[in-house]
Structure 1
Amino acid sequence: MIVYAKLKPLGILSLFILMAFYSLQELPLVYPSYFPKPMYDFKANPLKRAKIELGRKLFYDPILSRDHTISCSSCHNSNQAFSHVGNGLSKGIEDGIGDRNSPAIFNLAWQKKFMWDGSVGNIDVQALAPINHPKEMGEDINAVVRKLNKSKEYKTLFYRSFGDSLATTERVMKALSQFQLTIVSANAKYDKVKQGKARFTETEENGYQVFKNKCSSCHTEPLFSSYGFANNGLPINPNLKDYGKWNKTMEPEDKLMFKIPSLRNLSYTYPYMHDGRFQTLNKVLEHYEKGIEKSPTLAKELQHPIVFTAKEKENLLAFLRTLNDSVMVSNREYKKNNK
């Protein structure tokens, strides 16, 4: 503060210009060379520091919910790889329970479809789904915009981000996606091995071979998902009656088709599956051994049970732990207060 007080008027003006340039300059998305090219169109919505900061503020602000009790971070905790650990289904306002497990949020720039059923085709509008869901945030986006336009703080943040202070639905959505797109998981032990900075133990290496032989067709490296859709043989949950994509399209080929999740950060993101039915990875492996239910859309890889020896399970689980990204979950840039 003392330094600022001693600046001459021209110096203060220069400082403001420099700060504006700093806030509005385009930023690259940082990711390893062995990652594929992102699917997101950064030309249409280039990353900018001010927009990312606005998106962070919105992500952690319960103002997006009807009763100001639920924020995006309520179901997507940064310490849990932006998942909702321990909760089978998402929780919302007034003790409401959602329809599906809250998916972990990372590496979104490499995904074309969002939600477990792929019903959202652009991350720039994805947040509308939980905001409008009556059991999650229970709010109307127009009401959210009105609330934001009454806030002096948000007026300032929107001005820094867009050149004027007006909050609009499009600007809210794009700011939220800006922040979420920066959440990249690429600092696990697996990544250090890929970069030649670490080596797998013998157990991890053996597990890597098990993974490549029995899991990799759906969970493609290095993102550890194709981010496509598959029927993995889960018996239907009689309470939820969730048939995946079919719930939206009513097309026979979409019945029981759910988005394939990444295997990164599994230690932070239990329980597993679209309805959170499995509390442990051992239960997941048991499903593939003896729990698969046959149906017309069942993935071709699962027409026969996947059999693991006890040693293969031990090795595979050791390898999967190399996909946990402690750097990401502790990254201050992703926290509510990043100072």
Structure 2
Amino acid sequence: MSFKDINPSYMKKLLFILAISVLTLQGCTQPSESVEAAVAAGSARPELASYNYLVELPAHIQQALVATDNSPANNPITNDGATLGRVLFYDKNLSLNRTVSCGSCHKQASAFDDDVALSKGFANARTTRNSMSLLNLRFYKSGRMFWDERVPTVEKQALQPIQNSLEMGLTLTELESRVKSLTYYPDLFQKAFGSPVIDSVRIAKALAQFERSIVSYQSKYDKVKQGLETFTAAEARGEQIFLTAPNAGPGGGGISCAGCHTPPMFITSTPAGGFAFPLESGINGQNRFKSGSLRNIATRKFLFHAGTITDLNAMFTGPQPVPAHGVPPQDVAAMIAFLNTLTDTAITQDPKYADPFR
């Protein structure tokens, strides 16, 4: 049968089907960025309810904040700035293939650390260190961030994971372009900074404001310090062990935890050395690492910079105990009881820290 024998109406249909097929095949071979942009354009917009990030902290915490707050004068926390920071923190468009966000490795339910020892980046590659909890980083007086303190401020820290080739994989130019392409950002930048200008400096400032706003102050420990509750005998004994030095007298000897984890935020700018850490380069190439806040430590699944310790009992009684001189067996339960009083469940459920894209 020749083409001239084909019904003209049928021929038109055939040509139409062929044309559609060609266009479809061309669409399949378009650069991935075009496909991703199309997906992003149809993605959910964030929930933009206004929350108060300037809560009045209890007196025992406020006193510590005055002495240790690392907020710079040119970037104080504001409600609009932290709101913008929250959206940026959870926005997966800030990773190369739009699959991970800052919140992917710093989960609210896990006290803003991860629920795995080493986190997965945008291409499923593992990070080289455990994701440190973001709780109370505002109280780290020196302001230096990461386990090895390699950057001087929270603002500098905020952009590092985005540019990291394992974590989120964007350049700053690509980051700015991504954020500018999303229609919900100009108004957020306008409210936070007084104009809709979008750049990496403002992105870093907003992220830093949100991260500094994540302060734990509603644990049993806090209620005890406010005179609203009392410790059990075991909790009180645990606090005594935590605060006092070894050989401090009959029945009073402790393990000096407070030297590196100073109440009430249980954080200090004094790096810790040795203990259960694997031997690897840390601060200034030494086997020393940042001392993070112990708040909510009882709910975390992986501890220390390598995520090598999985529960508090193992931390005190394992082959490389913390502290190195160990805790007497009769005191381990008391120490764990006290550390449990540092758990703040309110912050892990507070909507102002939750993913706005859900």
TM-score of the pair, normalised by structure 2: 0.76
Counterpart AA for 1:177: A
Matched, 1:220 2:224: no
The alignment partner of 1:277 has SS state of: coil
Matched, 1:206 2:237: yes
Matched, 1:134 2:153: no
Tell me how far 1:307 sits from its aligned partner. 3.5
State the partner residue of 2:83: 53
State the partner residue of 2:294: 263
Tell me how far 1:190 sits from its aligned partner. 0.4
Aligned residues: 293
Mapped to 1, the partners of 2:166 and 2:237 lie a distance apart of 44
Q: Deviations over 1:302-337 (max 9, x none)?
A: 6xx424232200111011000001111111111123
Instruction: Provide the alpha-carbon RMSD of the alignment.
Output: 2.4
Matched, 1:77 2:123: no
The alignment partner of 1:197 has SS state of: coil
The alignment partner of 1:329 has SS state of: coil
Mapped to 2, the partners of 1:268 and 1:94 lie a distance apart of 28
Counterpart AA for 1:110: F
Counterpart mapping for 1:250-289 below 5 A: 255-287=286-318
State the partner residue of 2:281: 243
Asked if structure 2 preserves the Cα contact closer than 8 Å seen for 1:113 and 1:122, the reply is: yes
Which has the larger Rg?
A: 2
Mapped to 2, the partners of 1:49 and 1:57 lie a distance apart of 13
TM-score of the pair, normalised by structure 1: 0.81
Counterpart mapping for 1:1-339 below 5 A: 28=54, 30-35=56-61, 36=64, 37=66, 38-41=68-71, 43-85=73-115, 87-111=116-140, 112-212=143-243, 213-214=254-255, 215-234=257-276, 236=278, 242-247=280-285, 255-287=286-318, 290-291=319-320, 305-337=324-356
| 5+ residue gaps, structure 2 | 1-49, 244-253
Mapped to 2, the partners of 1:225 and 1:41 lie a distance apart of 16
Structure 1 stretch 187-196 or stretch 203-212: which is displaced more?
Answer: 203-212
Counterpart AA for 2:284: W
The alignment partner of 1:315 has SS state of: helix
Counterpart AA for 2:269: Y
Tell me how far 1:184 sits from its aligned partner. 0.5
Asked if structure 2 preserves the Cα contact closer than 8 Å seen for 1:226 and 1:260, the reply is: yes
Asked if structure 2 preserves the Cα contact closer than 8 Å seen for 1:229 and 1:259, the reply is: yes
Counterpart AA for 1:219: H
Q: Which stretches of structure 1, 4 residues or longer, exceed 3 Å deviation after superposition?
A: 26-30, 233-237
Q: Deviations over 1:144-183 (max 9, x none)?
A: 1011112221122112222222210110000111111111
Counterpart AA for 2:175: V
The alignment partner of 1:328 has SS state of: coil
Query: Does the C-alpha gap of structure 1 residues 41 and 235 become closer, same or farther in structure 2, counting only changes over 3 Å?
Result: closer
